[in-house]
């Protein structure tokens, strides 16, 4: 059971990293999958920690969690907050497409670590 959970986490993290990689490639012209993978891992950890401590606050909690995730993207890639937001949106959309295709063919569920809401 633990091994299966670990495999699911790693595969979903790889998919999340792919989304960040594509977002960074199209927005700020950075092509480094390993860097995107580390960003996805850090983003997932920050999302979980901030969500645990602040996510329960009505309306404000989810906003603070998202801003913390966005701060990770902003700190790891050039271009400022607008570029970070654009990278995040491109990552989210690309992950949705990948997950939809994988779910459609029956290979995975519809979630990925490292990209919020996907």
pTM for the full predicted model:
0.85
Query: So what's the pLDDT on residue 5?
Result: 77
Give yes or no for a contact between 107 and 5, defined as CB atoms under 8 angstroms apart. Answer: no
Q: Can you give the pLDDT at residue 108?
A: 67
With a cut of 90, say whether residue 21 has pLDDT above it.
yes
Model pLDDT, residue 52: 94
CA distance 39 to 88: 11
Question: DSSP state, 117?
Answer: T
Tens of pLDDT, residues 53-92: 999 999 999 999 999 999 999 999 999 999 999 999 999 9
What is the pLDDT at residue 100?
Answer: 82
Q: Round to whole Å and give the CA distance between 7 and 17.
A: 15
Note the pLDDT tens digit of each residue in 100-112. Answer: 888 788 776 666 6
């Amino acid at each position: 059971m633990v091994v299966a959970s670990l495999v699911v986490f790693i595969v979903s993290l790889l998919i999340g990293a792919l989304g960040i990689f594509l977002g960074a490639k199209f927005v700020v012209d950075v092509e480094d999958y390993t860097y995107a993978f580390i960003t996805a891992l850090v983003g997932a950890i920050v999302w979980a920690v901030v969500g645990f401590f602040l996510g329960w606050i009505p309306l404000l909690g989810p906003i603070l969690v998202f801003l913390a995730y966005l701060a990770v993207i902003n700190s790891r890639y050039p271009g400022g907050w607008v570029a970070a937001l654009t990278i995040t949106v491109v990552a989210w959309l690309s992950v949705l497409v990948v997950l939809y295709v994988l779910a459609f063919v029956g290979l995975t569920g519809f979630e990925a670590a490292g990209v919020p809401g996907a």
